[in-house]
């Protein structure tokens, strides 16, 4: 008897049980310390907190690069984004670049494994039809092709700019209206939550598993919030967080009400740290230094919760090191899908999620753009010499919700012990020359590996 891929999947399902449904929720610019279960005192997030109570919460989980497109590239491809030519970028409208269709995305791999796939929310991996969700394995899609600040109306009402075209909705790759005014911006989270719930209700229990990727546009600025939550929190950011949490609650309720909750793997995370120069319209990195766009912990360390009833322990907190480039191989393993044909950088952390291992990956490379800025092995993190945007001691913007000007920071060779100094304030290279030497050797090997591993970026015309 010839073992075809379909037959292999059938045998795996027979031996190990049905493939789980997957709901992957990624917020935009939400800081590590923004959910209450990560320590927030201002944000009310009962549904995210309940997800943590019912699942496992990671405290040392990373966005692979601290900017929109690059982080999403890692999530969908399992690769460091600079391997694929998308490091350090938030692609603008009408970009000629995107995630290459030679890459097998997470959705492509799960669809090959028998899943019905859908995405709702922000895409940001190329707005040309060649790079949109239908070209990357999604059966259904309702997306904004890029960030919600890439529109003509700026960050606050009256702040009109001429830099961007209208912000479009795309349904299965086809234009489907625009986010035309501030009322539409306030409705974004509601629309995305409604569409996610509809996807679940239409696909639950229909004879094949489903994969839903819900990428909320919020709390990226400009902040939008529905009338139900506007003015209810301590500030507009807290209102927006409550709005997002409410829609996550609706998604979880839909899983429960359709009878698929127990066989659904749910992940919640963020694409990078908070955009701190927006002041009270920005989130919090908690104890960590700096924010979005940096390789300090505040830029790349993000919340991550995984719930899979009966498989992932409930109420557990783990310090296992992992990143969003590891989500693809983890879900591929959990769902019995085939691995990508081309090499990836991600490593499955399923054993750590299940609680059968205290560790996941041993090391992590902190790139921004194509530049290696830091490396971590175990508890040790070594910064390589580089300049960076800095949010420390910013002068607040004159108008609440508009960005303050960045400062510029500079770092030389600096070593930090993240177990005893998670805030990266106590530089200890002089006391540990052997550790510095080892991490320098690892950094050099990593740069050489990446230089040899690069693949062409997706480009219109190739």
- Residues assigned a catalytic role: 68, 124
SS3 at position 7: helix
Tokens of 243: 């709005």
SS3 at position 128: coil
Cis peptide before 219 (omega within 30 of 0): yes
User: CA-to-CA distance for 62 and 324, rounded, in angstroms?
Assistant: 6
> Burial letters for 385-413: b for 16+ Cβ neighbours within 10 Å, e otherwise?
ebebbbbeeeeebeeebbbbeeeebebee
Phi, psi of 176 (to 5 degrees): -140, 55
SS3 at position 70: helix
User: In which residue are the tokens 């929720």 written?
Assistant: 25
Element (H, E) at 212: strand 210-215
Query: Using an 8 Å Cβ cutoff, are 35 and 270 in contact?
Result: no
Tokens of 412: 């030389």
Q: From 263, 261, 267, select the one nearest 52 (Cα to Cα).
A: 267
User: CA-to-CA distance for 24 and 253, rounded, in angstroms?
Assistant: 15
Compute how many other C-beta atoms are within 10 angstroms of the C-beta atom of residue 157. 12
Tokens of 323: 């990143």
Q: What is the DSSP string of 343-357?
A: --S----HHHHHTS-
Q: What is the CA radius of gyration of the chain?
A: 21
Phi, psi of 368 (to 5 degrees): -135, 120
Tokens of 303: 């919340």
Count of positions (residues) in the chain: 462
User: CA-to-CA distance for 279 and 412, rounded, in angstroms?
Assistant: 28
User: CA-to-CA distance for 351 and 458, rounded, in angstroms?
Assistant: 33
């Amino acid at each position: 008897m010839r073992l075809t891929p379909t037959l292999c999947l059938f045998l795996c399902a027979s031996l190990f049980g049905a493939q789980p449904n997957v709901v992957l929720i990624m917020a935009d610019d939400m800081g590590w310390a923004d959910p209450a279960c990560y320590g927030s005192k201002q944000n009310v997030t009962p549904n995210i907190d309940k997800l943590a109570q019912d699942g496992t919460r990671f405290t040392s989980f990373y966005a692979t690069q601290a900017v929109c497109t690059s982080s999403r590239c890692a999530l969908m491809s399992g690769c460091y984004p600079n391997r694929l030519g998308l490091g350090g970028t938030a692609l603008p409208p009408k970009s000629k670049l995107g995630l290459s269709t030679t890459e097998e995305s997470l959705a492509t791999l799960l669809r090959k494994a028998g899943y019905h796939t859908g995405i709702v929310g922000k895409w940001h991996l190329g707005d040309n039809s060649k790079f949109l969700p239908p070209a990357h394995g999604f059966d259904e899609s309702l997306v904004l092709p890029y960030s919600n600040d890439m529109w003509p109306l700026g960050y606050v009402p009256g702040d009109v700019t001429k830099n961007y075209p209208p912000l479009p909705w795309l349904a299965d790759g086809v234009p489907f209206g625009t986010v035309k005014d501030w009322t539409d911006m306030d409705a974004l989270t509601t629309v995305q939550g409604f569409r996610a719930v509809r996807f679940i209700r239409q696909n639950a229990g229909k004879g094949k598993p489903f994969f839903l990727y819900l990428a909320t546009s919020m709390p990226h600025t400009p902040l939008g919030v529905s009338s139900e939550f506007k003015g209810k929190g301590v500030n507009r950011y807290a209102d927006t967080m409550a709005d997002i949490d409410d829609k996550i609650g609706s998604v979880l309720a839909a899983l429960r009400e359709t009878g698929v909750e127990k066989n659904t793997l749910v992940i919640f995370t963020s694409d990078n740290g908070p955009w701190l120069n927006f002041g009270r319209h920005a989130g919090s990195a908690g104890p960590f230094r700096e924010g979005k766009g940096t390789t300090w912990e505040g830029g790349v360390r993000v919340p991550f919760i995984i719930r899979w009833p009966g498989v992932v322990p409930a109420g557990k907190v783990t310090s296992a090191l992992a990143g969003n480039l590891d989500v693809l191989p983890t879900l591929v393993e959990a769902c019995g899908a085939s691995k990508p044909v081309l090499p990836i950088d991600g490593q499955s952390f399923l054993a750590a999620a299940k609680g059968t291992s205290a560790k996941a990956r041993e090391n992590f490379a902190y790139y921004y753009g194509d530049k290696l800025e830091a490396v971590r092995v175990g508890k040790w993190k070594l910064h390589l010499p580089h300049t960076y945007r800095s949010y420390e001691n910013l002068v607040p913007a004159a108008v609440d919700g508009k960005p303050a000007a960045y400062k510029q920071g500079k770092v030389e060779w600096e070593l930090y012990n993240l177990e005893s100094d998670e805030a990266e304030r106590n530089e200890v290279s002089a006391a540990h020359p052997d550790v510095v030497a080892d991490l320098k050797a690892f950094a050099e090997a990593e740069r050489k590996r990446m230089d040899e591993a690069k693949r062409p970026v997706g480009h219109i015309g190739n």
